[in-house]
Amino acid sequence: MNQNYQTRVSPQICKVQTDRKLIAVYDQLKCAALTHYAQLHAKGEYKENDHKANSLIKVTIQDYSNGTGDKNVIAQFNLAPEQIQFILTRITAGFQEFEWSQSKIYGAPDAQGYSTAQQFSISRHTNDSSGRPMKSPWRIQIVNGKGVKVQNQKGGSYMKSGSFLSEKNAFIQLTDMDLYTLLKRTDSYITNWEACMAPSLIANGKQAYEKQQQDWQSQNQGQDQGYAQNEQYQGQNPDYSQNGQYQGQNQNYASNGQYQNQAPYYIQNNIQNNPYQNQGQGNTYAA
């Protein structure tokens, strides 16, 4: 059993364990779609298993102070790579007091109208409530449960105030070194993941973008040449200006709506017909 555990492939990046609790971080990073190659990390442009694909780092806290098995409480929360790196800067900057939290609600409502909800909070306080110095000043807490999801006017969603019901609740106290180790190793993995994934993604993305630009320019050049070769309208301005019979017609053509703004029209029409335009739109994924 132990040998199988040691040889099993795991996406775990790092873990920190105290006497009766454990916090771990896991790789859930995903590449951006080719249509959004420059952002590197997926941000919901496509779906995997009917869920929006997001590039994330999963954080779990295990509390086995009451025992293992069914008594072992495991709560989890997904953070964006930038959020991991932001929290790391709070340590390196030497913040003595710090608080940050986030909540999420997602998924289809159940029969009672509740959707999956999660809460994450992290804080650093030098002294405890009695004023005594804290040996482990960092406190991380994750609460998993459910709540009522409300749609806002912009198409997003938020959790209705007072509707959250807690199902799993776990927290852990960490020293400065413990949290620094956890976040620094995670940050290092994110950086190396980007360095590993970026070359092929960027190369393929730039190639697709250049082809898109060439196709667009080729279509527009063909239209421009068609107008330049049309002798019906070539050289009319000088002829009209020299021929007193047609004096002033140039102004009439300029004010004639039939020929107004032809270039913008063709540019817009070309964009709509571009086979590479808006390829990634409509793809979505879950938090």
For 184-203, the pLDDT digits (tens) are: 999 999 999 999 999 999 99
Show the domain range for 243.
Answer: 198-273
Do residues 96 and 181 both lie within one domain? yes
Do residues 93 and 182 both lie within one domain? yes
CA dist 77 → 16, 125, 183, 219 (Å): 16, 22, 15, 49
Instruction: Tell me the average pLDDT across 245-256.
Output: 45
Quote the pLDDT of residue 230. 59
In a domain, 146, yes or no: yes
Do residues 157 and 210 both lie within one domain? no
- Whole-angstrom Cα distance, residue 240 to residue 287? 66
Quote the pLDDT of residue 274. 42
Least confident of 82-86, 171-175, 180-184, 283-287: 283-287
Structural domain ending residue among the three candidates 142, 175, 196: 196
Structural domain ending residue among the three candidates 196, 216, 247: 196
Do residues 84 and 224 both lie within one domain? no
Identify which of 146, 148, 168 has the alpha carbon closest to the alpha carbon of residue 158.
148
Do residues 143 and 231 both lie within one domain? no
